Amino acid sequence: MKKEAIDEFAEFLMKEIRDEVIRLCDKALLDPKGLGFRGRRWRRTLETATPTEMALMVIPDVVDSTLMRLLQFVDDDVLRVLFESSDGSRVNVGEARPFELVGWYHGVNGWCGWYSKERFSDDISKLGSDAKHESTDEGRSCAESNSTPYTAESTSSRGTGQSSVESKMRNEPIGEFAEFLIKEVRDEVIRVCDKVLLEEFGFEGRRWHKALKTATPTEFALIVIPDVVDRTLMTLMSCVDDVSLRLLFESSNGSRVDVGEAGDYELVGWYYGVNGWCGQYSKERFSDDDSKPSGNARQDSPE
């Protein structure tokens, strides 16, 4: 039963999160009419950017798309995330802010603006529960916001002190979870991917730098996109493996399965490669670098 449950989760993770994020990002990159603000920003950048410059824009956007996609399923109660706060209590993240996690995640006035030390763009801010249906919504009726990438420096001076909402949330367990997600997953993945890109770090770095010799900005972005999705999801799985997060998945028979326990806390090892979940369930491209990170994926990051 455990094997069936973990296989069902693996198929869900690959098809509903990994493959869908890659498909949406490909559409933003390649379709002249696709995916609104982000697509227009990417294609505008392609007119003048080098492959490296394009990758530096794509990396944080893909990380954010992956995390927002996962949070949407938490909002929909398909996934439940349990997080242990500093006082030792276990909080159900979805119940703490019912059906609002995607809306709180992005933008200067959301979790990215409050906690992130890495760059982000605010042009898909506050898409709320429609984020999962981004692929079919070409003319979303929200005002175009600032599409300039924000940095820790630019957000630190965005006002005179914290808003009352920000201050209140920071003192709640959901605020602790938000800070953990942004700093330990989002920022860490961006930092490692930047090192892969700029310093030829690890297997990915050698492959990326080989591609940089001949690839156009579009071709290189198509290499980067699935790699960034995979590193984001493996970092999340690492958090489940080391019990920083507990992830509960609703299986087809209606029962809630503790994913870490069902996978013997070896989710990172099962994730990657031809013989892993990518090879078994994914319909999108992936690279099998012989890397197959073992143990805690966050230990794969540079010092």
Higher pLDDT, 150 or 94: 94
Spatial separation of the C-alpha atoms in residues 154 and 192, rounded to whole Å: 22
Asked which of 110-119, 255-264, 269-278 is least confident by mean pLDDT, the reply is 269-278
Starting at the edge strand found earlier in the chain, the sheet holding 79-84 runs 90-92, 79-84, 245-250, 256-258
Spatial separation of the C-alpha atoms in residues 59 and 80, rounded to whole Å: 26
User: Between the ranges 49-53, 249-253, 291-295, where is the mean pLDDT highest?
Assistant: 49-53
DSSP H or E stretch at residue 141: none
Q: Residue 124: give the domain boundaries.
A: 2-300
Asked which of 69-78, 165-174, 195-204 is least confident by mean pLDDT, the reply is 165-174
Please, is 227 exposed, middle or buried when counting C-beta atoms within 10 Å of its C-beta (0-12, 13-18, 19+)? buried
Backbone torsions φ then ψ of 84, nearest 5 degrees: -90, 115
Averaged pLDDT score across all residues of the chain: 82
pLDDT (average), residues 258-281: 92
Specify whether the CB–CB gap between 110 and 88 falls below 8 A.
no
Asked which of 69-73, 112-116, 163-167, 190-194 is least confident by mean pLDDT, the reply is 163-167
DSSP H helices in the chain: 2-12, 19-30, 36-46, 51-75, 93-96, 101-105, 111-115, 152-156, 164-170, 173-180, 187-199, 202-212, 217-241, 259-262, 267-271, 277-281
Our count of domains for the chain comes to: 1
Residue 260: the pLDDT is: 95
Q: How confident is the model at residue 76 (pLDDT cuts 50, 70, 90)?
A: very high
Tokens of 22: 């890659």
**What is the model's pTM?**
0.84
